Amino acid sequence: MNAIVKSRFTDTPAMQEFNISNHLLGDRAALDAAFARDGYWFFRNVLDQEAVGRLRAVYLEVLDQLGVIEPGHEDVAIYNGAPLDNYPIKMGGDPWLDPLLQRYPANDFVKEPKIKAFFEELFGGEVFWVPNTEFHAVPPNQQHVGKRFNYVHQDGANNKGLKLKVCWVPVAPIDEAMGGLALTEGLHIPRLDDFPRPPAGIRDEDVPQTAWRRIAYQPGDLLVFSLESPHSGLANRSDKFFRLSMDIRGMLKSDNAPVLGKITAVNMNAIAIEDAAGRHHVFRIDEMTFCRTHRGMLSGMPLARDEIPQLMKLGEPVFVASQDGVATFIRPQH
């Protein structure tokens, strides 16, 4: 049995550590079998440290510009006590006001030669990264009250038609007090009558406590998991450290990857987009099309067909997954 991570916080269950997958690299059958069994891979120190350092430098530069961290640190982000009333890097916040989203350091990170090569080996070919990265720089809050699980959910219900894996990257060390990501093992395949998995989230009490996994994360580590795996961030109860992480979502480019482009026409029956090369694509919309807006609007997902032309604007960058000419998934890029 893997080691148990115990918590000094009474609302945080003790959790087993992840199964380590480093020894499976290079063995496609073994990797696939482990993912089918657990719903994840966890790797120790597989991402190039220099590339992760360049990624972290962007986070630290942004936080320094916001005036919320102590200067002079390259490996960690230490809170300086500045007011956080208008802190813009938060889930559900306005994406146009989030300076990390505006910088979007994931684009450079996945192009780094060693990073690109690692993910191509892991996925088994060229990787397509959807423009839907989450950048987390969560402030410490030693006085946090309320539950430890921020939001138990799985991503599959809100990403219909996409064969993605979520790749969660710790950008700086994350200990138990800082929280990080808690993930369930083996619950990516629903069993008959196990528990409801609605798009708007899963009740904490519905997930068996024995299924939760976490570990003390270090830069260079990588957690890859199924869209169907219930998971949650844990509240950052550190006394001084921002929690820095990034999750990117990828799939094999050859596996019916979505089309990226800007909307040139849209109504309740079809959407047309123009890609970066100037090519035009038209997709039909039917009752099964899942169209969503920006993060923070879970209550409005999926949009009704008559809402799509009202809320999806001409010129807006989107990505569209399709099957036989019908849009299965439409979402704004961010």
Q: Name the residue ranges covered by the structural domains of the chain.
A: 4-252, 259-332
pLDDT of residue 297: 46
**Average predicted confidence (pLDDT) for the chain:** 94
- Per-residue confidence at 199, pLDDT binned at 50, 70, 90? confident
pTM over 0.85: yes
What 8-state DSSP symbol labels residue 149? Answer: B
Question: Is the pLDDT at 319 greater than 90, yes or no?
Answer: yes
CATH topology classification for 259-332:
OB fold (Dihydrolipoamide Acetyltransferase, E2P) (2.40.50)
**Are the CB atoms for 320 and 281 separated by under 8 Å?**
yes
Higher pLDDT, 318 or 92: 318
Distance CA 36, CA 39 (A): 6
Across the range 214-223, mean pLDDT stands at 97
Level-2 CATH architecture, domain 4-252? Sandwich (2.60)
Amino acid, res. 144: H
Question: Is the pLDDT at 325 greater than 80, yes or no?
Answer: yes
Tokens read off for 197: 């998995």
pLDDT of residue 1: 64
For 257: left if phi > 0, alpha if psi spans -120 to 50, otherwise beta; the answer is beta
Which residue's structure tokens are 């350092």?
Answer: 53
Higher pLDDT, 157 or 287: 287
